[in-house]
Copies of this chain bind each other. A is one copy, B any other.
């Protein structure tokens, strides 16, 4: 009856200080790659299919060309996305998630779920 209700740590192991530091490093490593205001939104956009520059821009409210350009470059450097020639029209390139970029999907799903219910929650005031 003094046990806690929730059961976190499926992955992180027991609540030792070492495991805490390990988790800290891992989460900070993730953060380092997806930091900033726009990287995850871009990845979300590409989760819904290959897109051209302007299509991604349309998906993300308020992003500027400059930021989109800059972030696409960084994401490409980190091998999360890649430019490929469009299948139909020649001379057109589209952006798509790499296999590696797709490995972010579980995390994004969780952030999607959390964000969805969070929006509901704050609407209640």
How far does the alpha carbon of A99 sit from the alpha carbon of B5 in the complex, in Å? 9
Known contacts: A47-B8, A119-B25. The answer to whether A107 contacts B105 by CB under 8 A is no
How far does the alpha carbon of A117 sit from the alpha carbon of B103 in the complex, in Å? 10
Q: Does A3 contact B (CB under 8 A)?
A: no
How far does the alpha carbon of A104 sit from the alpha carbon of B60 in the complex, in Å? 24
Q: Does A86 contact B (CB under 8 A)?
A: no
Task: Count identical subunits in the complex.
Answer: 2
In the complex the two chains form, is B29's CB within 8 Å of A115's CB? yes
In the complex the two chains form, is B37's CB within 8 Å of A20's CB? no
A40 shortest CB reach to chain B, Å: 6
Which A residues are closer than 8 A to B by beta carbons? 5-6, 8-12, 15-17, 19-21, 23-31, 33, 35, 37, 40-41, 44-45, 47-49, 59-61, 99-100, 102-119, 121
With A26-B112, A107-B113 known, 14 other A-B pairs at CB within 8 A are A5-B99, A8-B47, A11-B109, A12-B112, A16-B48, A26-B113, A26-B115, A27-B115, A28-B115, A29-B115, A30-B118, A103-B117, A106-B114, A107-B111
